[in-house]
């Protein structure tokens, strides 16, 4: 009986460790996307989001190509949205374009910033 319980607990632990907990981040794009050698740059209301092109599917490339300014993008990833110097990078993600009338998208306000280069 103890062996069966131990095996059941082991199987349960292995199955849970194989699952990724995905976090959903919604950003509003403020400019057109910029393709770079190994990533795509999105200028958003929160800062700069870099998405790696290494594992990007054709569907994801199509979504990014057709993304318009002030449209929202839903990013589902196991990675944290930890910005450092207004920059965050994602390598493992799933994306979905949201319509501008989406409730979550309307909540995000875009402030005008003056950037000095």
What strands lie across the sheet with 23-28, from one edge to the other? 23-28, 72-77, 94-98
For domain 20-107, give the fold.
OB fold (Dihydrolipoamide Acetyltransferase, E2P) (2.40.50)
pLDDT tens string 29-71: 988 889 888 999 999 988 999 999 998 999 999 999 999 888 9
Burial 39-74 (b: 16+ CB within 10 A, else e): bbbbbbebeebbbebeebeeebeebbeebeeebbbb
Where are the domains positioned within the chain? 20-107
Residues 6+ apart with CB under 8 A from 53: 35, 38, 39, 40, 61
Task: Report the predicted TM-score, pTM, of the whole model to 2 decimal places.
Answer: 0.74
| pLDDT computed for residue 80 by the predictor | 87
């Amino acid at each position: 009986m103890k062996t069966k319980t131990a095996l059941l607990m082991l199987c349960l632990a292995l199955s849970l460790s194989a699952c990724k907990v995905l976090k959903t981040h919604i950003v509003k794009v403020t400019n057109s996307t910029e393709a770079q050698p190994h990533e795509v740059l999105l200028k958003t209301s929160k800062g700069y989001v870099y998405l790696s092109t290494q594992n990007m599917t054709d569907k994801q490339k199509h979504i990014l190509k057709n993304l318009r300014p002030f449209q929202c993008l839903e990013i589902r990833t196991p990675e944290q949205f930890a910005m450092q110097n207004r920059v965050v990078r994602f390598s493992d993600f799933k994306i979905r374009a949201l319509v501008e009338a989406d409730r979550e998208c309307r909540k995000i306000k875009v402030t005008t910033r003056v950037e000095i280069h």
